[in-house]
Amino acid sequence: MLKVLVQPVVLCGGSGTRLWPLSRKAFPKQFVPLIEGRSLLALTLERVAPIADKSAGVICVGAEDHRFMLREAVTEAGLTGALVLEPFARNTAAAMALAALQAASDDQLLLFCPADHHIPDAEAFAQMVRGAAECARKGAIVTFGVQPTFPSTGFGYIEKGATRPDGGNAVARFIEKPDRARAEQMLLAGNVLWNAGIFLCTARVLLTAMERHAPDILACCREAVSGATTDQEFIRPAAEPLERCRSASIDYAVMERHDDMAVFPFSGMWSDVGSWNAVSDMAPLDEDGNRVKGQGIVVQSRNTYVHAPYRCVVALGVEDLLIVDTPDAVLVAHRGSAEQVKHVVAELEKRCSPQAVQHRQVLRPWGSYDSIESGHRFQVKRIVVKPGASLSLQKHYHRAEHWIVVKGTAEVTRGKDIFLLTENQSTYIPVGEVHRLHNPGRTPLEMIEVQSGSYLGEDDIVRVDDEYGRVMPVPDHRKKQS
């Protein structure tokens, strides 16, 4: 088989609400280290890297709030490319159009992949793409279907049509998620595949299809791209055209209406990791049908999943439960209610609960902080700074800070003074003093920060200088800083 190189397009805009409390708005499932300490996005980039045209680079379409996590994942995968930051999420039709408008050329083969799927056999995946390349080059939009292993009601289906001379099958129709009886009937008929949501075509073919079937979406995307701003690898389409763009999936907007569609089967393991039942299926099974990750213990229990990476969680005398523990929230759900977890997130958002959006540990481009304790007029954080990284040069109007170095070396800027602190040494930052924290070492810097004052919100930060190009806001306690 001839060598095939594609320009991968990784769609990173999902919110993953069905995997709450591990997946949250500020840290959705594609970034969560779910598989042996690796994120689904990292595994996706690793999977497409061998067939990626390095001269064209990868295109990732995601949210502004996730830009630094996106850049880090692409860099760690050894890839380069464009990171398209959507000002408004408008589903896969708009995301794919934005990417196609950034393609290296009109005839560039684009491989559109969701960032949050698990496909462990990377070589089988690459062979599937190579086998469909000729069909895509001839002008078809190729989609890939997974051989069903059970009558799933959580996936859409593709009904296969006649065999095509250039490989694969014609697409007879797309079928929405069926009920159990309908799913069983389709599997018995033997001519359906699960819809994996992965597509291969040239940029020209996709844009021509959108011009025909969804011209309004394409027009908004063209306008947004023409008004885009660029900051290194970050591409920010204009907001106003996308704000008025309708939200539609690519299946509904284009694929269900397009004539020249081909489907190629994939028989390897595949999961959209769309619910806690899907996550639990990836853990080892004991003789009672239980699956445990981390420090969970099951006693006199059956068919129960426990996710407990941080502390001991015991399930005693229970059955058919999903138990997910995080430092600031715990989910206990019946297995049959796994698809309804997204409704819990909606309720949390209605109550303005921070657990709907953030984890206790918050990632930043320079590292992370974990709010380990808080009370009236004080807050304690554990801060980790990556080697060579720096926080912004900043000041606070309402709080003072005490810093204690636990591990590594800190270079502290405090007013006009610059000095080093090592393990067990500390310093004090008065209210209103300009300061910066930098890690000059080769290992992570770990420190404890004790804040005290009348207001401790994250929006009490005035950035004087920032190497990550973040906005330097005037403090306004009614707003939350991104």
Q: What is the pLDDT of residues 351-390, one digit of tens each?
A: 999 999 999 999 999 999 999 999 999 999 999 999 999 9
In percent, the amount of the chain with pLDDT more than 90 equals 87
Cis before residue 21, ω within 30 degrees of 0? yes
CA nearest 362: which of 334, 381, 380? 381
Mean pLDDT across 317-344:
96
* 330: pLDDT strictly greater than 90: yes
Is the per-residue pLDDT at 52 higher than 90? yes
Q: Which of 65, 39, 91, 19 is nearest to 345 (CA)?
A: 19
Does 1 score more than 80 pLDDT?
Answer: no
Buried b (16+ CB within 10 A) or exposed e, 15-34: bbbbbbbbbbbbbbbbbbeb
Q: Are 350 and 360 in contact (CB under 8 A)?
A: no
More confident residue, 133 or 476: 133
Q: Give the pair of three-digit tokens for residue 113.
A: 């992949």
**In angstroms, rounded to a whole number, what is the distance separating the alpha carbons of residues 305 and 314?**
11
Predicted pLDDT at 2:
52
Local confidence band at 232 (pLDDT 50, 70, 90 cut-offs)? confident
State the Cα–Cα distance between residues 268 and 123, nearest whole angstrom.
10
Task: Please report the pLDDT score of residue 474 as a whole number.
Answer: 46
Instruction: Note the pLDDT of residue 482.
Output: 37
Q: Kindly report, residue by residue over 423-460, the tens digit of the pLDDT.
A: 999 999 999 999 999 999 999 999 999 999 999 998 89
Domain 7-266: state its class. alpha beta
Please give the class, per CATH, of domain 361-465: mainly beta
pLDDT for res 157: 95
CA neighbor of 263 nearest in space, from 438, 97, 356, 146? 146
> Over 50: is that where the pLDDT of 475 sits?
no
254-294 pLDDT, tens digit each: 999 999 999 999 988 999 998 999 999 999 999 999 999 99
Query: Residue 436's beta-bridge partner residues?
Result: 413
What is the model's pLDDT at position 481? 39
| Mean pLDDT of the chain, nearest integer | 93
- Name the band, by pLDDT with cuts 50, 70 and 90, for residue 471: low
**Domain regions of the chain by residue span:** 7-266, 276-350, 361-465
What confidence score (pLDDT) does residue 7 get? Answer: 96
pTM: 0.89
Give the whole-angstrom CA distance, residue 357 versus residue 469.
23
Q: 3-state SS of the chain?
A: CCCCCEEEEEECCCCCHHHCCCCECCECHHHCEEECCEEHHHHHHHHHHHHECCCCCEEEEEEHHHHHHHHHHHHHCCCCEEEEEECCCCHHHHHHHHHHCCCCCCCCEEEEEECCCECCCHHHHHHHHHHHHHHHHCCCEEEEEECCCCCCCCCCEEEEEEECCCCCEEEEEEECCCCHHHHHHHHHHCCEEEEEEEEEEEHHHHHHHHHHHCHHHHHHHHHHHHCCEEECCEEECCHHHHHCCCCCCHHHHHHCCCCCEEEEEECCCCECCCCHHHHHCCCCCCCCCCEEEEEEEEECCECCEEEEEEEEEEEECCECEEEEEECCEEEEEEHHHHHHHHHHHHHHHHCCCHHHCCCCEEEECCEEEEEEEEECCEEEEEEEECCCCECCEEECCCEEEEEEEEECCEEEEECCEEEEECCCCEEEECCCCCEEEECCCCCCEEEEEEEEECCCCCCCCEEEECCCCCCCCCCCCCCCCC
28 has pLDDT over 90: yes
